[in-house]
Amino acid sequence: MTGAMSRESLESVLNALIPFAKVELERMGYVPPVAGSLDAAGEIELHMPRSGEPGSTDEFIELLRTALRHGAGTGAYRATGLLMEVRAERPGNGESVDAIAVHLEAPDESLMAFLPYQRDENGDVSYDEVFFGPAEPDAFQMNGAVR
């Protein structure tokens, strides 16, 4: 996969996950962990723990990571994304902000996308611009070596 194809694949996953996260944040007040995958046919699939399943957010994130590793390892995915809510340092000023984060991966690229948000006194959510940062490969890593 070339860098341009990889970037396009990552963008597709990001564009599927961010709207989902915004709806959940505005509807429920938080962003549940969710994963997204892009298959060879260009289809996006969202993956989430079953409703009512017991477990912590960290346990759900690890389950989703395992599922993404499996799919990437079998060659079923061209790109993946793992969505979660975090505190992130804004580049430039180091200010810590609430953000929707997506760990995006393709076989030759891994990065974090952050969408900072604020909630006003009425509970309404507003968003800042997305910023990106480096990330270690996870889903497309096999036996310690990136595929």
The structure tokens listed for 96 are 């810590």
Q: Computed over its alpha carbons, how large is the radius of gyration of the chain?
A: 15
pLDDT digits (tens, 9 = 90+) for 72-125: 999 999 999 999 999 999 888 888 999 999 999 999 999 999 999 999 998 899
For the entire predicted model, the pTM comes to 0.88
Distance CA(141)–CA(103), nearest Å, equals 14
* 3 state DSSP class of 92: coil
Q: Cα(102)–Cα(104) distance, rounded to whole angstroms?
A: 6
- For the chain, the structural domain boundaries read 3-146
Both tokens of 27, joined, read: 């509807």
Tell me which DSSP letter residue 41 carries: T
Q: What does the pLDDT look like over 23-78, one tens digit per residue?
A: 999 998 899 899 999 999 999 999 987 666 666 888 889 999 999 999 999 999 99
